Structure 1
Amino acid sequence: MSIPAGYRLVSTDVSRAAEVLHVTSFAFAFTPPVKDADFVTRIYPFEAGRALEVADASRGSVGTLAAAHTSFRFRLAVPGDRAIPTAGLTWVSVHPGHRRRGLLTTMIADHFSRSLERGEPISALYASETEIYQRFGYGLASRSGVIELANGTTFRDIAGSDDLIVEIDSASFDKHAGILRDVQSRMTRPGTIVDFEEVTVAEAFLDLEYEREGAEELRIVVVRDEDKPLAWALLSRKGAWELFGANGKVTVKAWGSVEARATARLMKVLTSFDLMSKAAIGHVPVDDEILHLLANPRGARQAILDNLWVRVLDVKAALEGRGYAADCDVTVDIADAQLPDNAGVWRVAVRDGEATITRVTGNGEADLAMNIQELGAAYLGGTSVSTLASAGLVSERRAGAAGELSRAMASDRAPLCNLDF
């Protein structure tokens, strides 16, 4: 890994929190009030924090940070009701005064190296700019729905839903983080963060006054079956009055559920607050049951956005770490510009849901050829290899090979990550 001239790579602990925030605020164009500036100490995983520091006066003030990044460590649900260690890349920032000098490339290489050292075979992120991370092999692995429902939306009946207990409270990390952890640990949809450190969920509870834009403080809705939590939602309401009455809006910051009856109960609560006319709900899986429980599907305004981007760091460990829906025996020629250990021909042999991944030597032509980006896109089962082949992004050299691998890698549930990081 080469480091641009005039800089040095350093780790950043909490003592450099103000400097990290300074770089990030320049990169993302925001300025928190002084009284809120310590928020970074609560939501930034400093144990993985890295930065590029100015080492030559020709580049700026020696010792100042020019770029920074970190990653969350968690286990991500993957097809086959399994979960694998994942590096959640985040807070990637380059000061505008240091752009176009290769700092981002160096940080990504550093992230890949350190993630592999920790035994994390995949990296995942939310992309601030989607074109940037495709250059480094990240593929669009899941998509997220955003729906707006009118207050009083009618849902079809689902047995047991109305019997569940609902609690509504001011959101508190100390009081409610355990509920999120409990529910998340029982969710099996691919892309779900199911096991995580406290700092991973701290951002969900972040409630800075200057960001509210007139809305209330963060609230939480919890749906229980007796004392067992089944669903949760973090939200805020913003009141508004117009000539003919109240026109407030509920904005759901994040939510999760383990059962359809709990999802239905949660959605009924979110669309029944007094003085509110609508609820905006993000992180909705594209095949979520709630879309089928709407009495009037046309009544929901919907949009589809990119959700999680996945980068396979270790082909063998990543592919053997997930489950499969069908048997297959396919060879795949993978190109990887950043991590040459992944490049080459791999045999994907699947039987009874288990894969054996071996490197193929020799001069024989592989059944399929793809870039590492396409493997990341297909990894969670949300994008089929056949679709990528139809788009010209996967080359099929043996007739039927794309379909064979597609059926094996398919997921019976569309992937989605419901927590931002």
Structure 2
Amino acid sequence: MTTPDGYRLISPDRDRSAEMLHVVGFAFGFTVPAKEADFIDRIIPFDRARAVEITDSARGPEGALAAVHASFPFTTRVPGGATVPTAGLTWVGVHQGHRRRGLLRAMIADHFERSLARGEVISTLYAAETAIYQRFGYGLAAPALRMELARGTALRDVDGADELTVTVDSADAARDGEIVRDVQRRLQRPGTATSFPDEYVADLFLDIESDRDGAEELRIVVVRDGDVPVAFALFARKESWSDAGPDGKVRVRCWAALDAAATHRLWSVMVDFDLMGATQVDKIAPGDPLVHLLKEPRGAKAAHYDNLWLRILDLKGALEGRGWSADCDVVIDVADEQLPANAGRWRIRATSGNATVERTEDAADLTIGMQELGAAYLGGPTLSALAAAGLVREHGAGAVTELSRAMASDVQPVANLNF
């Protein structure tokens, strides 16, 4: 791996966490008060953290950090119900004084190499700037919705919802982290993280005062069927008053529900807090039960946005690790500048929900880039739609339709947790 002159890649120890926070603060434009800055010690998986260190005084103080990144070890649900090992890329930042020097490219190459060495077949992220990561083969695998639901938003009835119980409390990672883990393990929606480390739980429940923007402390709603949790939401309310009276906002950080009854019970609570005028929520798959339960969908003020971006690292491992909704026998020709081991022609034979993916010298039925293959991987954007946009080239009649149907998913993907 080539690092730009004057820099080197290192694995920072926990005692350099303040330096890492300093770099990310410059990259994203924020400052954390010193009394709260130790939060980074709890949420960064330091065994998977990397940094770029200055080695040439002409670039800056020798030994100082110029860029950082880390990744969480996730398992991600994929079509068909299986999970695949995943590197959740996070905390990516290049100090403003070291931009345009190739540091990000070096870090991404390092991330790919180390992730593959750990057996992780895909990398996922939330993109601060979407154009950046498309350069490295990340595709938009999960478009999603965000909504603002007025207080008292009416939902269609669902059998069994009223029998479910609800608790509302201040959020506590030590107490509630296992509830979140339990629900996530059972989620079947592609794109959801079904397992994650302790550092990620700490990150999910992070609630530093300087980040609240005047809102209350982090709260949690848990819906149970008997003693078993079937839904949760992490949220905070921010009060506001107008001439007409109270008009506060509920801001939902993340949420999950295992079925329609749990969805109904959860959202009946989330849109009915005293003194609140609306509930703001995102990470909603376009086909989520919540969308269909709204009696007045126009009032939801729904907007599309990009949710999860996905990069296939190990083409064979990733494609064989997911389920297939139809049989197919298609040869794809793949271009991959960053990971040449993925490039070339591959025959995908899917039968009875499973596929074998092998190299071949046979003529290609279609040509596809890694960005488009990653976009279609979770069964969200279809290959047919990508081909209609001119992003996939078909050489054999019907090949795009055949592969598109095989990669489709009845359950639309979304990532419901931030990272």
Question: In which range does the TM-score fall when normalised by the shorter chain?
Answer: over 0.9
Quote the offset at 1:411 in angstroms: 0.5
- Deviation sequence 1:344-393 (CA, Å, 0-9, x none): 000000000110000012xx430000111111001000011111111110
2:179 matches 1:182: no
**Aligned-partner SS, 1:42:** helix
Distance across 2 between alignment mates of 1:276 and 1:334: 51
- Deviation sequence 1:154-208 (CA, Å, 0-9, x none): 1111001011100000001011000000000000100000011111232221111
Moved over 6 A (4+): none
Matches within 5 A, 1:187-206: 187-206=187-206
Structure 1 letter corresponding to 2:350:
V
Q: Please name the residue that 1:250 is paired with.
A: 250
**Aligned-partner SS, 2:374:** helix
Distance across 2 between alignment mates of 1:170 and 1:292: 30
Quote the offset at 1:243 in angstroms: 1.4
Quote the offset at 1:294 in angstroms: 1.1
2:142 matches 1:139: no
Q: Please name the residue that 2:409 is paired with.
A: 411
Distance across 2 between alignment mates of 1:74 and 1:211: 26
2:330 matches 1:370: no
2:240 matches 1:240: yes
Structure 2 letter corresponding to 1:102:
G
Q: Please name the residue that 1:398 is paired with.
A: 396
Identical residues among aligned pairs (%)? 57
Quote the offset at 1:285 in angstroms: 1.0
Q: Please name the residue that 2:289 is paired with.
A: 289
Distance across 1 between alignment mates of 2:247 and 2:126: 32
Q: Please name the residue that 1:41 is paired with.
A: 41
Q: Please name the residue that 1:93 is paired with.
A: 93
Q: Please name the residue that 1:221 is paired with.
A: 221
Distance across 2 between alignment mates of 1:329 and 1:189: 26
Distance across 2 between alignment mates of 1:376 and 1:218: 34
Q: TM-score, normalised by structure 2?
A: 0.99
- Deviation sequence 1:76-117 (CA, Å, 0-9, x none): 000000100000011111111111111111000000000000
Structure 2 letter corresponding to 1:372:
M
2:320 matches 1:350: no
Distance across 1 between alignment mates of 2:203 and 2:145: 21
Structure 2 letter corresponding to 1:95:
H
Distance across 2 between alignment mates of 1:244 and 1:104: 50
- Deviation sequence 1:214-259 (CA, Å, 0-9, x none): 1111100000011100000001111112212111111111101111
Distance across 2 between alignment mates of 1:172 and 1:231: 16
Distance across 2 between alignment mates of 1:212 and 1:7: 36
Distance across 2 between alignment mates of 1:198 and 1:117: 22
Distance across 2 between alignment mates of 1:307 and 1:298: 22
Q: Please name the residue that 2:330 is paired with.
A: 330
Distance across 2 between alignment mates of 1:28 and 1:297: 35
Distance across 1 between alignment mates of 2:85 and 2:184: 15
For structure 2, the 5+ residue unaligned runs are none
Matches within 5 A, 1:373-392: 373-392=371-390
**Aligned-partner SS, 2:302:** strand
Structure 2 letter corresponding to 1:226:
G
Distance across 1 between alignment mates of 2:231 and 2:140: 27
**Aligned-partner SS, 2:131:** helix
Q: Please name the residue that 2:53 is paired with.
A: 53
Structure 2 letter corresponding to 1:405:
L
Distance across 2 between alignment mates of 1:2 and 1:314: 21
Quote the offset at 1:13 in angstroms: 2.0
Structure 2 letter corresponding to 1:208:
I
Q: Please name the residue that 1:106 is paired with.
A: 106
Structure 2 letter corresponding to 1:213:
D
Distance across 1 between alignment mates of 2:375 and 2:154: 36
**Aligned-partner SS, 2:58:** helix
Distance across 2 between alignment mates of 1:383 and 1:141: 7
Q: In the comparison of the two structures, how many residue pairs are matched?
A: 419
Distance across 2 between alignment mates of 1:128 and 1:281: 18
Deviates more, 1:29-38 or 1:195-204: 195-204
- Deviation sequence 1:11-64 (CA, Å, 0-9, x none): 012111011001110001000111110111111111100111001111110100
Root-mean-square deviation (CA), in Å? 0.8
Distance across 1 between alignment mates of 2:256 and 2:294: 18
For structure 1, the 5+ residue unaligned runs are none
Q: TM-score, normalised by structure 1?
A: 0.98
**Aligned-partner SS, 2:25:** helix
Q: Please name the residue that 1:26 is paired with.
A: 26
